[in-house]
């Protein structure tokens, strides 16, 4: 038995001197353990080789069980530390490439047979880059459906962590994700759904100093936030860069969405909402409440608008707003107009050169 432990030590420390990785050394010791167990199975009791290696297989079974328990405990401890530190969990490996694989062609077949999308539209989605602001109620369905649809690069920025109260409506997150940053939970869920896309998580708050550089990497911006300060920042930056903004909002039983794109002669968010209302007139979901499926309905409609922008299918909600009343099952559609005195996109404010917008 001492000889076996000595051989195991030789493998471990000798491998260390030879710069062998830990995985290789663990594998070699595992093979040694299997060889010792095989000796006790093959040779009869009292055989010299069995005597040298402890005399009984039971002892090695107990040692193996103890080592397994220690390794399982260490793995669980590492996962707890990761969650406490806000680090992302191990993710499914992305298999994204420039060309469509046979699996992707089969996966997106229902898109490809649509006359308005077809192969070119699906390729446009694969090449598109979409930034989603917020991984909460609206961000959850947007992220899920854009990833499932095959949008090649999806960024998501949010500084919040998953809370128990989120799970009633933010269906991209799970109970086991409580305490984890939302962007990492969302990234894991999207890649588990579709490993052929790239998800870029940004676990931080969107601020004035980072917004321009961040937006510069993306073609379309999706705003799923729940406060006016961030909405105005998102709108202002999107206007300055000439990029379409798909925006949604929720309260209680009602949701609304629109596409703001002044570079294509549509209004911007500030044209419609020039000033933030008093807090008591626009309470957040925690104060006013929200019916659970509502974010899924509005967020899915926002994802459709993104796909239409990318593929140039149909008519987007540029210059229009849809208001959905879940309590009475009604949709209203109202026309929106651009304001010449808008502080973000008014007369003369788009005179500076902007990047040519990729999508209409």
Structural domain contains residue 325 = yes
The reply to whether 63 and 155 lie within a common domain is: no
Co-location of 188 and 317 in the same domain: yes
Instruction: List beta partners, residue 333.
Output: 322
148 falls within a domain: yes
Answer whether residue 278 shows pLDDT above 80: no
Q: Are 192 and 164 within one domain?
A: yes
pLDDT at position 21: 67
Phi, psi of 130 (to 5 degrees): -125, 130
> Which of 17-21, 100-104, 260-264 shows the lowest per-residue confidence on average (mean pLDDT)?
17-21
Residue whose C-alpha is closest to residue 291's, from 245, 328, 258? 328
Least confident of 25-29, 149-153, 250-254, 328-332: 25-29
91 within a domain of the structure (yes/no): no
Query: pLDDT (tens digit, 9 = 90+) per residue, 120-144?
Result: 999 999 999 999 999 999 999 999 9
89, pLDDT greater than 70: no
In a domain, 358, yes or no: no
Same domain, 7 and 62: yes
Average pLDDT value for the chain: 85
Confidence of residue 69 (pLDDT cuts 50, 70, 90): confident
* Average confidence (pLDDT) over 96-113: 88
Among residues 50, 85, 120, the one where a domain terminates is: 85
Region of poorest pLDDT, from 165-169, 290-294, 341-345, 355-359: 355-359
Q: How many domains does the chain have?
A: 2
Same domain, 134 and 59: no
Location of structure tokens 């999308």: 117
For residue 266, being part of any structural domain is answered with yes
pLDDT at 357 over 60: no
User: Tokens 């629109």 sit at which residue?
Assistant: 258
Q: Are residues 185 and 329 in the same domain?
A: yes
pLDDT score of 117 more than 80? yes
| Nearest-angstrom CA–CA distance, 138 and 247 | 10
pTM for the full predicted model: 0.72
On whether residue 210 sits in a domain, the answer given is yes
35 or 140: which leads in pLDDT: 140
* Residues of the domain holding 73: 2-85
Q: Is residue 255 located within the same domain as residue 153?
A: yes
Residue 63 lies in a domain: yes
Determine contact, residues 239/268, Cβ cutoff 8 Å: yes
Number of helices (H) and strands (E), helices first, in the chain?
Answer: 14, 8
Residues 52 and 118 occupy one common structural domain? no
For residue 141, the model assigns a pLDDT of 97
- 18 and 158 in a single domain? The answer is no
- Domain match, 31 and 116 both: no
Is the pLDDT reported for residue 354 higher than 60? no
Q: What confidence tens digit (pLDDT) does each residue in 188-202 have?
A: 999 999 999 999 999
Residue 350 lies in a domain: no
List, edge to edge, every strand of the sheet that includes 330-335: 198-202, 153-157, 129-133, 220-223, 245-251, 254-260, 320-325, 330-335
Kindly state whether residues 180 and 50 are assigned to the same domain.
no
Same domain, 106 and 78: no
Task: Return the SS3 of 294.
Answer: helix
Q: How far apart are CA 157 and CA 171, in angstroms?
A: 17
CATH number at residue 269: 3.40.50.720
Confidence label for 353 from pLDDT (cuts 50, 70 and 90)? very low
Last residue of a domain, one of 85, 110, 144: 85
- pLDDT at site 73: 75
Instruction: Say if residue 15 is exposed, middle or buried (CB neighbours under 10 Å; 0-12, 13-18, 19+).
Output: middle
């Amino acid at each position: 038995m001492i000889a076996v432990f000595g051989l195991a030590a030789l493998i471990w420390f000798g491998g260390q001197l030879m710069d062998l990785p830990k995985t290789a050394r663990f594998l070699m010791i595992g093979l040694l353990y299997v060889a010792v167990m095989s000796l006790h199975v093959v040779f009869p009791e009292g055989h010299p080789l069995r005597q040298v290696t402890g005399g009984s297989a039971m002892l090695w079974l107990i040692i193996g069980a103890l080592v397994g328990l220690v390794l399982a405990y260490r793995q669980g401890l590492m996962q707890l530390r990761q969650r406490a530190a806000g680090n992302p969990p191990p993710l499914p490996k992305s298999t994204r490439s420039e060309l469509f694989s046979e699996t992707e062609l089969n996966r997106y077949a229902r898109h490809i047979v649509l006359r308005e999308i077809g192969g070119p539209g699906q390729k446009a989605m694969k090449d598109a880059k979409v930034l989603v602001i917020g991984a909460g109620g609206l961000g959850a369905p947007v992220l899920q459906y854009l990833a499932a649809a095959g949008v090649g690069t999806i960024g998501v920025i949010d500084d919040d962590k998953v809370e128990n109260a989120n799970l009633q409506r933010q269906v991209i997150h799970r109970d086991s994700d409580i305490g984890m940053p939302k962007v990492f939970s969302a990234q894991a869920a999207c890649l588990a759904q579709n490993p052929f896309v790239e998800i870029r998580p940004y676990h931080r708050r969107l601020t004035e100093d980072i917004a321009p550089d961040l937006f510069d990497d993306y073609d379309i911006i999706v705003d799923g936030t729940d406060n006016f300060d961030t909405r105005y920042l998102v709108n202002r930056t999107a206007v300055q860069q000439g990029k379409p903004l798909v925006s949604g909002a929720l309260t209680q039983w009602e949701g609304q969405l629109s596409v703001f794109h002044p570079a294509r002669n549509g209004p911007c968010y500030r044209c419609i909402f020039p000033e933030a209302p008093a807090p008591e007139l626009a309470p957040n979901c925690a104060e006013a409440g929200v019916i659970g499926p509502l974010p899924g309905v509005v967020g899915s409609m926002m994802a459709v608008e993104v796909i239409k922008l990318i593929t140039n299918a149909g008519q987007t909600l540029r210059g229009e707003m849809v208001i959905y009343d879940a309590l009475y099952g009604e949709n209203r559609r109202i026309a929106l107009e651009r304001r010449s005195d808008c502080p973000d996109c008014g007369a003369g404010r788009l005179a500076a050169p902007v990047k040519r917008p990729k999508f209409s």
